[in-house]
């Protein structure tokens, strides 16, 4: 009865929630979200600078998250670069002195709080000529006003002024109403001169932080939170009365202090972690416009589209116009074949052979791609949607992980094939690995070393599958034709190449695609070169098996030579125009790191495929439905050893001390856990006969999921998280994930449609198109070439 209900439940879900309906819903959601964010951004009167200075929340205990934007954590060198030859002045009481010390500690981490109380303090950094002064003015009175007036008449005015005062006025005058009125009058007079200083630099007024009234000493008991709120309201009314004041109100540290003031030693002065929030907020407000850190979206002005981005927009717009013209003219001679019946969790193959695509089809595909690229641009290159930084906790990683594995088990099906690593099983494998990697990225789980190392194994497993799959194809099919090569390369690289142009990022930025492309070329070259050995040929003589092993040995020596010759590696990949494919920020270090980390995974996959196919041909394996892969004793032994090695690797990964230490060992031992998983998954007959259609569905679009996450699920080039629904993190993840998956699936269909048009089966036509592509690539390279000399030229 339970099994019947389980089956009916799945059928009911699949019947009503199809992928077509899901895409329509996601399209409506995107339109509504764009309208909402555009309206709130441009008509609500707020920008990310105001968000940074005024609102936020804590992620965990010490990580401050401004509302709607990402705050960069500035380091010493960055601070010196930003503030070079600038003069910064902090004016106020002991709380402003605290902020002063936190600020200069960003510039010089060795700086100590050893200045005298109630006196001026000066700090100067010689190498960058940064000068930061603290001036003791505990009250907003005539003395403070005179100091500001003198600055307005000086030739060398401060570039940045940060002021704040109130507690001393409350303390000295008992919190009287007359004192508050006088505070307003003084602040009104001061505001005039602050506006004049704002003509020459940045001016900030720091709102008063709360106090812990229970801990205050007797001579400070009159400083209550109610009094401080009155003074903050007065400051806000005076300095922002018309909404046009250029004096910025710093309220973020006050909001942070609401949660941490109980940690204060004396009830008045903030704990160090909280005042560091205020200092870092100031640094972001001052420096983000200048340095433009990718993970500092607050207060940052986005650059306008470059030439290639404009040309790509024109291209997609032109494709849309052509499609519209063909549609209006009724050019329906060749209809696009009915797509496979792709449901939410099942893909049914069409009963008839595919019909050639009509003339409208490629333009329709490009039109859809253009709309999707517009969404990409709005998410990560335009000032429309919000962004937030990642923050890792065990719950943010392991709870979603539990959810997806429950879903994976729910959608459990009988496999059509029972061979080792059959298509359904490899799709399932890719699917759950991709989902784990997605959760790993959005949760920031790389901060937790054991999770980092296990995800490294998943990446190695992808490359293992690359070696296994391509070796098996060439060994069994023997198709080394140009059409096959171009089709694989197009399928791997189409989306990334479009994103390189639209998002203005180098090819190596999407590191996994260059990696699998490189290894595909290496696999093809090693197997296609003389002598080409296929299974049919090897069956005629055992000597050919030895030749294959010699080829694999040669490939292993090639890998080892490059791995232990970093200088030679860099000299090869630094030559123009190859460098354009593998450089990131002017260096190929990232490519070297990624290549070296999983350098043996592909050859492990090739060797495994060779051994498996030979054993299969010799009929050593039992791959019938329900049967164990080997005899009972051998199967039991292999299962036991696999579980032991699987757990052993996990223990080692959990005991590793540093990423550097772990990464050194990873290339040599990652294959242990990969092989252990394969045996656990395939040795028992019942395990080989089942698969999760849920994971397999995601496995079919795993490449698109991996690439799309960079800009429409994560944000700021994977440094942060895209925020479509502000104020509700759980709902935001649900909505953004839903749209993200629909977009990835649609791109997969578009890629397949365009591959049929772009890559003809006729060799002559294909060579002509490759020549045209080469010419176009040369033009693009020349348009993007740096003014610096080309390396190796």
**567 exposure class (CB count in 10 Å sphere: 0-12, 13-18, 19+):** exposed
Tokens 């005539």 identify what position?
142
Q: Is the CB of residue 186 less than 8 Å from the CB of residue 141?
A: yes
What sign does the dihedral 326-327-332-337 (CA atoms) show? Answer: positive
Say how many C-beta atoms besides its own lie within 10 A of residue 768's C-beta.
12
- Is 753 assigned a catalytic role? no
Task: Enter the DSSP assignment of 70.
Answer: -
* 94 counts as catalytic: yes
Q: Helices (DSSP H) in 503-577: which residue ranges?
A: 512-528, 535-540, 543-563, 566-573
What does the alpha-carbon distance between residue 255 and residue 607 come to, in Å, rounded to a whole number? 59
Within 10 angstroms of residue 647's Cβ, the number of other Cβ atoms is: 12
Q: Which long-range contacts (CB under 8 A, 24 or more apart) does 308-317 make?
A: 308/501, 308/504, 308/780, 308/783, 308/784, 309/377, 309/501, 309/502, 309/504, 311/501, 312/373, 312/498, 312/501, 312/502, 313/370, 315/366, 315/370, 316/366, 316/367, 316/369, 316/370, 316/373, 316/374, 317/370
CA distance 411 to 231: 61
Q: Map residue 66 onto helix, strand or coil.
A: strand
Return the closest-CA partner of residue 122 out of 136, 109, 137, 143. Answer: 136
CB contact set of 501 (below 8 Å; sequence gap of 6+): 308, 309, 311, 312, 780
* CA neighbor of 193 nearest in space, from 140, 241, 165, 151: 151
Q: Kindly state the helix (H) or strand (E) to which residue 132 belongs, with its residue range.
A: strand 130-136
Helix (H) and strand (E) counts in the chain:
31, 15
Q: Please, which residues bridge with residue 692 across strands? A: 412
Q: How far is CA 457 from CA 301, 522, 637, in A?
A: 39, 21, 24
Phi and psi at 354, nearest 5°, equal -65, 140
Residue 269 known to be catalytic: yes
Integer Cα distance of 291 and 283 in angstroms: 11
Longest dimension (CA), the chain: 105
Segment 174-182 long-range contacts (CB within 8 Å, at least 24 positions apart) = 174/222, 175/222, 175/223, 175/224, 175/227, 180/230, 180/231, 180/234
Q: Which of 120, 199, 237, 266 is catalytic?
A: 266
Catalytic residue among 40, 94, 245, 574: 94
Among residues 141, 234, 233, which one has the least CA distance to residue 189?
141
Q: Which helix (H) or strand (E) element contains residue 30?
A: helix 19-43
**Among 612, 620, 629, residue whose Cα is nearest residue 686:** 629
Contacts of 45 (CB under 8 A, 6+ apart): 243
How far is 190 from 140, CA to CA, in rounded Å?
8
Helix, strand, coil content of the chain in percent (nearest 5):
65, 10, 30
Q: How far apart are CA 793 and CA 580, in angstroms?
A: 13
- The answer to whether 111 touches 101, Cβ cutoff 8 Å, is yes
Q: CA–CA separation, 572 vs 149, rounded Å?
A: 63
Angle of helix 272-291 versus helix 94-107 axis, rounded to 10? 50
User: Which of the following is catalytic: 40, 47, 245, 269?
Assistant: 269
User: So which residues are the catalytic ones?
Assistant: 94, 266, 269
């Amino acid at each position: 009865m339970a099994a019947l209900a389980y089956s009916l439940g799945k059928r009911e879900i699949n019947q009503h929630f199809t992928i077509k309906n899901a895409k329509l819903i996601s399209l409506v959601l995107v339109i509504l979200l764009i309208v909402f964010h555009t309206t709130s951004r441009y008509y609500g009167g707020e920008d990310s600078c105001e968000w940074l200075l005024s609102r936020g929340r804590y992620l965990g205990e010490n990580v401050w998250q401004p509302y709607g934007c990402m705050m960069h954590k500035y380091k010493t060198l960055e601070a010196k670069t930003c503030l070079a030859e600038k003069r910064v002045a902090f004016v106020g009481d002991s709380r402003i002195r605290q902020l002063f010390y936190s600020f200069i500690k960003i510039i010089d981490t060795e700086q100590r709080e050893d200045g005298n109380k109630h006196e001026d303090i000066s700090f100067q950094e010689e190498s960058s000529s940064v000068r930061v002064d603290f001036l003791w003015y505990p009250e907003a009175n005539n003395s403070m006003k005179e100091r500001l007036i003198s600055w307005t008449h000086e030739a060398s005015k401060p570039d940045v002024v940060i002021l704040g005062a109130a507690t001393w006025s409350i303390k000295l005058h008992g919190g009287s109403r007359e004192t508050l009125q006088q505070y307003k009058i003084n602040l009104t007079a001061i505001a005039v001169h602050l506006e004049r200083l704002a003509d020459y630099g940045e001016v900030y007024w720091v709102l008063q932080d709360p106090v812990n009234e229970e801990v205050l000493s007797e001579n400070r008991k009159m400083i209550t939170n109610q009094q401080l709120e009155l003074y903050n309201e007065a400051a806000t009314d005076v300095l922002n009365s018309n909404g046009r004041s250029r004096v910025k109100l710093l309220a973020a540290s006050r909001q942070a202090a609401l949660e941490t003031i109980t940690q204060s030693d004396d009830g008045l002065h903030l704990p160090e972690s909280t005042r560091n929030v205020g200092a870092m907020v100031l640094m972001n407000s001052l420096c983000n416009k200048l340095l433009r850190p990718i993970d500092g979206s607050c207060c940052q002005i986005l650059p306008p589209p470059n030439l290639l981005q404009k040309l790509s927009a024109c291209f997609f717009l032109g494709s849309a116009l052509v499609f519209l013209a063909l549609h209006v003219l009724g050019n329906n001679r060749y209809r696009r074949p009915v797509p496979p019946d792709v449901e939410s969790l099942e893909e049914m193959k069409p009963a008839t052979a595919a019909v050639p695509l009509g003339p409208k089809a490629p333009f329709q595909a490009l039109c859809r791609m253009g709309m999707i690229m517009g969404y990409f641009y709005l998410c990560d290159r335009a000032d429309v949607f919000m962004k937030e930084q990642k923050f890792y906790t065990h719950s943010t990683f392991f709870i979603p992980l539990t959810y997806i594995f429950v879903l994976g088990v729910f959608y459990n099906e009988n496999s059509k094939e029972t061979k080792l690593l059959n298509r359904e099983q490899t799709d399932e494998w890719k699917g759950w690995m991709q989902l784990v990697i997605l959760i790993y990225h959005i949760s920031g789980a790389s901060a937790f070393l054991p999770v980092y190392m296990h995800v490294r194994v998943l990446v190695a497993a992808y490359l293992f599958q690359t070696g296994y799959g391509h070796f098996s194809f060439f060994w069994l099919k023997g198709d080394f034709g140009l059409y096959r090569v171009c089709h694989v390369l197009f399928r791997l690289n189409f989306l990334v190449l479009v994103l390189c142009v639209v998002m203005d990022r180098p090819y190596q930025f999407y590191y996994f695609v260059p990696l699998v492309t490189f290894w595909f070329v290496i696999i093809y070259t090693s197997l296609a070169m003389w002598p080409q050995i296929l299974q049919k040929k090897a069956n005629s003589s055992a000597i050919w098996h030895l030749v294959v092993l010699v080829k694999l040995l040669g490939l292993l020596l090639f890998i080892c030579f490059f791995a232990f010759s970093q200088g030679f590696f860099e000299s090869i990949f630094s030559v123009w125009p190859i460098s354009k494919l593998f450089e990131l920020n002017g260096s190929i270090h990232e490519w070297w790191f990624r290549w070296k980390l999983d350098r043996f995974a592909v050859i492990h996959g090739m060797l495994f495929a060779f051994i498996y196919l030979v054993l299969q041909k010799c009929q050593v394996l039992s791959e019938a439905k329900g049967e164990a892969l080997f005899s009972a004793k051998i199967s039991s032994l292999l299962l036991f050893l696999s579980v032991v090695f699987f757990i052993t690797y996990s223990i080692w990964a959990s005991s590793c001390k540093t990423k550097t230490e772990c990464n050194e060992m990873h290339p040599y031992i990652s294959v242990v856990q990969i092989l252990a998983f394969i045996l656990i998954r395939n040795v028992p007959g019942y395990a080989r006969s089942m698969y999760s259609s849920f994971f397999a569905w995601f496995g079919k679009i795993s490449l698109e999921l991996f690439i799309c996450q960079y800009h429409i699920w994560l944000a700021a080039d994977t440094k942060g998280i895209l925020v479509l629904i502000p104020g509700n993190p759980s709902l935001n993840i649900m909505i953004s994930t839903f749209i993200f998956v629909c977009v990835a699936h649609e791109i997969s269909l578009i890629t397949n449609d365009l591959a049929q048009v772009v890559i003809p089966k006729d060799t002559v036509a294909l060579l002509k198109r490759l020549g045209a592509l080469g010419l176009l690539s040369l033009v693009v390279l020349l348009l993007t070439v740096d003014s610096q000399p080309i390396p190796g030229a």
